[in-house]
A and B are shown apart, each in its own frame.
Chain A
């Protein structure tokens, strides 16, 4: 009886030390990567700052990291020339979220309908291709004419951008469902609705979720471009105002805020994705 126990002990202590070793190695690798990432940031920003300080590049056209940073602080503390910063921020964010949600829902519905129905896809296929080939930015003036300078014209533009990304992925996802799985479910007694719930939608979801990253980006593009062309609020409006006043620092500062928004949104979509396709991410243990 004592033999197997001692054997167990010697077996279990070795993997524990190995595990520890591997963990410290992984930690070191992460620290190194983080260090390099920060290093790149410092080099680029430092070079920019130095070049601007010594007037090797014209600070009027290129601004400098310090000025941009101070501008953002100033906006936070004192508000912009066009009112407090957060109102612009909220407006852009709201437009983006609205056009994202509406575009995704419409895209999924249309993708599912056309993916399931041969007739619908034959009828509408060419028209959708045609609309998608159109550079959507040219629609912005029309939407502003129709819907005014407010939020709805930006949302409409964002929807036209996000819709197609999600639509094509949903369509493809529905088309690519494994025929055997569909047959299996039908044989097990699934009706049309059950087939959609248990087989087609879960299968298409991987495709749809992979499109959400890029479609969120497009929603943001829609909001900003719309504000750029005609608006009274929003980060895009802020950029166009700064540009009109030859304020490059303001343009860059608004750009930094925009990219931070985009990063946060991307992270949130990533979380959503993980949540919905958990069955894919579970590791074999």
Chain B
């Protein structure tokens, strides 16, 4: 078992790849309506390589999603800088797309209009955009549903639309904000393995936010643990040296998986307990 892990490590080209996303000394503060300053994130230093699949886990309300919205450019950090391919991020992140926990698809657009939107917004002609969209719709397994509206699709199918919508613009960064947490267990593991299949064909870096440690380990090259909020910061940073391609539904029974799970959980457990006690107090 150990030997396979080592081989996979040696085979991995991603270790020495250039830095895609770089957060240095990033903190985020909000002013509450009561006038107090609420610190969400404090002193985050994080580098994510090109093509790296990095998960961020942490207890509820620790600022995982805030980190993501900073990288996406929805929000600006209070202190510190975010660099994308060496350039300081200002405004929207032009290289990123995001799969949200709730809906990505616009309910008033059909599947094909939803998927081709990223291209038409960039000025690609409609016929051309549709052609490209059809390829992506087929790739995520929604062929035949081009003219359907989102509310006619199941939760899992809507996530497929979201994936196609993001990937059609060939983003260098794919942000996923608890994207699969609203799905049922079976659909979820199906979507996880499809995500991996599609991702392995691209060179996109992924930031995957989740509260599910198993999901994080099964999918990622790397798992980052945040401390309990407020003022969350990075507690641990783990390389996941499991071989790829992975079978997401069965990897959970792998001895290496369990070893990693135990190791990271030891770190995460304390934070979850702190967070739980805080929520009980307030």
Contacts and interface: CB of A to CB of B under 8 A. Distances in A.
Interface of A: 178, 180-181, 183-190, 194, 198-199, 202-203, 205, 277, 279-280, 282, 284-285
B11 interface: no
Contacts of A203: 108
29 contacts: A178-B102, A183-B98, A184-B98, A184-B100, A184-B165, A185-B117, A186-B74, A187-B72, A187-B93, A187-B96, A188-B118, A188-B121, A188-B165, A189-B94, A189-B121, A189-B122, A189-B169, A194-B121, A198-B106, A198-B109, A198-B117, A199-B106, A202-B106, A205-B108, A279-B109, A280-B107, A280-B151, A282-B152, A284-B152
B117 A279 contact: no
Interface string B90-103: 00111011101011
Given A180-B102, A183-B100, 20 more contacts: A178-B102, A178-B103, A181-B106, A184-B100, A184-B104, A186-B74, A186-B92, A187-B96, A187-B97, A188-B117, A189-B118, A194-B121, A198-B109, A198-B117, A199-B106, A203-B108, A280-B107, A280-B151, A282-B149, A285-B152
Contacts of A199: 106
Nearest to B94: A189
Contacts of B107: 279-280
Nearest to A284: B152
B100 A180 contact: yes
Given A178-B102, A180-B102, A279-B107, A187 B117 contact: no
Interface of B: 69, 72-74, 92-94, 96-98, 100, 102-104, 106-110, 117-118, 121-122, 149, 151-152, 165, 169
Nearest to A277: B108
Nearest to A179: B74
Nearest to B110: A279
Contacts of A178: 102-103
Contacts of A181: 103-104, 106
Contacts of B149: 279, 282
Contacts of B110: 279
Contact of B74 (A183, A198, A202, A280): A183
Contacts of A280: 107, 151
A191 to B, nearest CB: 8
Contacts of B104: 180-181, 184
Contact of B98 (A187, A202, A282, A284): A187
A198 to B, nearest CB: 7
Contacts of A187: 72-74, 92-93, 96-98
Contacts of B92: 186-187
A51 B202 CA distance: 84
Contacts of A205: 108
A280 B169 CA distance: 28
A280 B74 CA distance: 29
A279 B98 CA distance: 24
Q: Which 10 A-B pairs have CB atoms at the shortest separation, nearest pair first?
A: A188-B118, A202-B108, A189-B121, A279-B108, A180-B100, A279-B149, A190-B121, A284-B152, A189-B122, A183-B74
Nearest to A191: B121
Contacts of A279: 107-110, 149, 151
A187 B162 CA distance: 13
B207 to A, nearest CB: 13
Contacts of A186: 74, 92
A184 B96 CA distance: 10
A208 to B, nearest CB: 13
A146 B12 CA distance: 81
Nearest to B121: A189
B68 to A, nearest CB: 11
A205 B189 CA distance: 37
A275 to B, nearest CB: 13
A78 B59 CA distance: 82
